[in-house]
């Protein structure tokens, strides 16, 4: 809860800072949002998802490039800052774990040693499609209520709901348990994310940001 409150608070601070700096350069507030939580909290996916709507509604023709550039900057800066700061705090306060717990994030070491069969792969594909269909329906329902979200957000939310609400012994017509944290799902996730980032970064037209370099860097520095 503490981390959640801090994150939400800093999202507000990021957006206020971005909008304020953008206004100093007589730029739309949407540019400040692209340099705020849209890219620095949401990352490449959120920036790419919102860029077309921002470009259409606010006339920011380089919204895609601005969002991706800011997200890339945030990713690199977080990587450079996170490790050294964590190491400094660990050494300063002499922090040591009371016990070594088993890995509970991602794929376990035991699962990594297992092979991937064709049925495992197809079952993971099926689960992704089920989540996508439910996410699409959820997105349409939210739009009817006046709330607009990127489609991937509702698909992700649908997958989270299914994963956490379906009991492990719930009978599926595929005869298998829901493929959460399985090697096949991890493989699809790694390939999908890598392909998505490669296509997004390769399609950037960085030369369109030459005139905006000063405002963008100012927003990111603030």
Per-residue pLDDT of 120-129, as tens digits, reads: 889 899 999 9
Q: Where are the domains of the chain?
A: 2-93+206-221, 116-180
Does residue 211 surpass a pLDDT of 90?
Answer: no
Q: What is the pLDDT of residue 36?
A: 92
Q: What is the pLDDT of residue 109?
A: 58
DSSP 212: G
Instruction: Return the half-sphere exposure (C-beta side, CA atoms, 13 A cut-off) of residue 158.
Output: 21
Q: What is the pLDDT of residue 169?
A: 65
Would the pTM of this model clear 0.95, i.e. be above it?
no
Closest CA to 31 of 203, 205, 198, 214: 214
Mean pLDDT of 193-221: 81
Containing H/E element for 66?
helix 63-92
Q: What is the pLDDT of residue 113?
A: 58
Q: How far apart are the first and last CA of the chain?
A: 26
Average pLDDT over the chain reads: 86
Share of the chain above pLDDT 70, in %: 90
Those residues whose C-beta lies under 8 Å from the C-beta of residue 59, and which sit 6 or more positions away, are 28
Helices (H), 93-182: 109-112, 118-144, 151-165
Q: What is the pLDDT of residue 207?
A: 74
Q: What is the pLDDT of residue 103?
A: 63
Q: What is the pLDDT of residue 140?
A: 95
Mean pLDDT of 49-54: 86
Q: What is the pLDDT of residue 110?
A: 57
Closest CA to 214 of 58, 13, 65, 24: 24
pLDDT digits (tens, 9 = 90+) for 147-176: 988 888 899 999 999 988 887 766 666 677
Mean pLDDT of 74-95: 90
Mean pLDDT of 39-63: 87
pLDDT bin (cut points 50, 70, 90) of residue 105 is: low
Closest CA to 151 of 160, 161, 138: 138
More confident residue, 92 or 211: 92
More confident residue, 175 or 49: 49
pLDDT bin (cut points 50, 70, 90) of residue 196 is: confident
More confident residue, 113 or 28: 28
């Amino acid at each position: 809860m503490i981390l959640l409150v801090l994150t939400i608070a800093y999202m507000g601070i990021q957006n206020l800072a971005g909008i304020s700096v953008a206004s100093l350069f007589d730029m739309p507030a949407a540019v400040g949002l692209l340099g705020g939580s849209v890219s620095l909290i949401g990352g490449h996916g959120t920036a790419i998802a919102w860029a077309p709507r921002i470009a259409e509604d606010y006339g920011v023709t380089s919204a895609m490039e601005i969002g991706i550039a800011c997200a890339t900057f945030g990713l690199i800066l977080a990587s450079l800052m996170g490790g050294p700061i964590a190491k400094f705090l660990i050494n300063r306060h002499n922090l040591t774990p009371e016990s070594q717990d088993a890995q509970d994030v991602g794929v376990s070491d035991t699962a990594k040693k297992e092979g991937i069969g064709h049925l495992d792969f197809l079952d993971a594909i099926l689960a992704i499609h089920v989540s996508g269909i439910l996410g699409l329906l959820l997105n349409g329902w939210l739009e009817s209520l006046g709330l607009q979200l990127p489609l991937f957000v509702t698909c992700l939310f649908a997958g989270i709901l299914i994963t956490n609400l379906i009991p492990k012994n719930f009978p599926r017509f595929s005869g298998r348990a829901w493929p959460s944290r399985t090697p096949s799902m991890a493989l699809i996730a790694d390939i999908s994310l890598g392909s998505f980032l490669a296509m997004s970064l390769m399609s950037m037209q960085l030369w369109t940001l030459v005139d905006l370099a000063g405002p963008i860097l100012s927003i990111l520095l603030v």
